[in-house]
Amino acid sequence: MIFDRHAGGPRKTKATMSASTTSVSIPANPDFGFDASSLQGLARLDDWGVIRAQGADAAAFLHGQLTQDFLLLGQGEARLAGYCSAKGRMLASLIGWKTGPEEILLVCRRDLLAPTLKRLSMFVLRAKAKLSDASADFALYGALGASLPAELPPATWSRLDAADGQWVRLPGAEGATRALLCLSSGATQPAAELAPALWQWLEVRSGVAMVGAPVVEAFVPQMLNYESVGGVNFKKGCYPGQEVVARSQYRGALKRRAQIFHAESELGVGQEVFHAADAEQPCGIVVAAAPHPLRGWEAIVSLQTSALDGQALTVGGPAGAVLQTLALPYELLQDI
């Protein structure tokens, strides 16, 4: 079976792949002579935006809407979370943290900020919470290596309030340490000497995809490995789509996962991926893509686990770019 992201359910294939995932040996990720571990500097993240949630009920409201626990969110930590439809499909990815007892900032892809803000605001009702687009009030940067403050704790999603701004440690990639820097737009802005494309490539190599407009409502969180990278809390209370997300996890129904790939040709978000056994129906979709610093392109693809059986995977059709499977930088949690 292949999931039809447009119809919202499975459909039959004319050819067959292995019913269960075949163990495939994945070699060490090629660097093509590029050393990422020594990278440092800042990249301006103009494609990200900020939602501000204010009020006595701000944390409780977000706790009831997102896949992560915001009631127990401490001042020294951030949360990766998904915002889902009632069917458990991701409408947005967000990284959130508290700036004070009654204020939380959420960052997401700018192309999804307006619809996310509008939909969330519909459900505030009588809660003592106000949501607004605060993108004009802040400047966001991606930071690498020595540009991170020494005081920032080493744990992923840890946070630091510093004189030069608010810092959130992000998952590392290829030996490079990464963080998000949030500055007041009125503050003196640092030089952004890091190429945005290089930051985007490291995002891909981190294996953590942020949902953008081309793939909205295409995945439940586990299809992007969110349960394995701190994006889902299965112990918290209800939120939109919670039953679908929990059922996928606890009934062993996870048939799609995110994987990193390399190709010699350009890749784009939303492109479909095909397995050699079926030239008509896609087995996956590109979620994030960026050029490798030296050659080719790389992408995070959400695809059927049965497609990782060692046979050829191509983008756009049988004659498209051939994908080379790369290793994830983290272990996947086992299905329950």
pLDDT at 236: 87
- For residue 7, pLDDT over 50 is answered with no
Instruction: Write the single-letter amino acid at 114.
Output: A
- For residue 246, pLDDT over 60 is answered with yes
pLDDT at 198: 96
- Which DSSP letter does residue 81 get? E
Cβ atoms within 10 Å, residue 296: 16
What is the C-alpha R_g of the chain? 20
- For residue 194, pLDDT over 50 is answered with yes
% pLDDT > 70, the chain: 90
What number is the average pLDDT over the span 218-227? 96
Lowest mean pLDDT segment, chosen from 23-32, 232-241, 321-330: 23-32
**Tokens 């993240």 label which residue?**
45
Average pLDDT of the chain?
90
Cα 159–Cα 164–Cα 166 angle in degrees, nearest 5: 25
Alpha helices in 88-239 (DSSP H): 110-122, 196-206
* E strand segments, the chain: 2-4, 9-11, 41-44, 48-54, 78-84, 90-100, 103-109, 130-133, 138-144, 159-162, 165-173, 176-184, 256-263, 272-275, 284-291, 297-304, 313-315, 324-326
pLDDT at 107: 98
- Which DSSP letter does residue 9 get? E
Cα 28–Cα 19–Cα 217 angle in degrees, nearest 5: 75
Sign of the torsion formed by the C-alpha atoms of 68, 5, 317 and 306: positive
Instruction: Write the single-letter amino acid at 234.
Output: F
- Joined together, the tokens standing for residue 122 give 């519909």
Cβ atoms within 10 Å, residue 251: 10
Lowest mean pLDDT segment, chosen from 152-161, 171-180, 231-240: 231-240
- Render pLDDT for 249-304 as a digit per residue (tens, 0 to 9): 776 668 899 999 999 999 999 999 999 999 999 999 999 999 999 999 999 999 99
What number is the average pLDDT over the span 88-98? 98
**pLDDT band at 97; cut points 50, 70, 90:** very high
What is the Cα–Cα distance from 260 to 201, expressed in whole angstroms?
11
From residue 113, give the alpha-carbon distance in Å to each of 50, 78, 108, 120, 157: 8, 19, 6, 10, 21
Instruction: Write the single-letter amino acid at 51.
Output: I
- Render pLDDT for 106-139 as a digit per residue (tens, 0 to 9): 999 999 999 999 999 999 999 999 999 999 999 9
What number is the average pLDDT over the span 194-212? 97
**pLDDT band at 6; cut points 50, 70, 90:** very low
Helix (H, G, I), strand (E, B) or coil at 176: strand
Q: Residue 135 in contact with residue 143, Cβ under 8 Å?
A: no
What number is the average pLDDT over the span 150-178? 96
pLDDT at 334: 72
Q: Residue 34's beta-bridge partner residues?
A: none
Sign of the torsion formed by the C-alpha atoms of 273, 7, 87 and 103: positive
pLDDT at 335: 55
- Joined together, the tokens standing for residue 54 give 């204010």
In terms of Cα–Cα distance, which of 173, 131, 165 is closest to 148?
Answer: 165
312: phi then psi, degrees, rounded to nearest 5: -65, 140
Q: Residue 263's beta-bridge partner residues?
A: 297
79: phi then psi, degrees, rounded to nearest 5: -130, 135
pLDDT at 293: 95
What number is the average pLDDT over the span 236-253? 84
What is the Cα–Cα distance from 275 to 41, expressed in whole angstroms?
39
Cβ atoms within 10 Å, residue 312: 11
Cβ atoms within 10 Å, residue 115: 13
- Which DSSP letter does residue 15 get? S
- Render pLDDT for 16-47 as a digit per residue (tens, 0 to 9): 454 433 334 455 677 778 999 999 999 999 99
What number is the average pLDDT over the span 196-222? 97
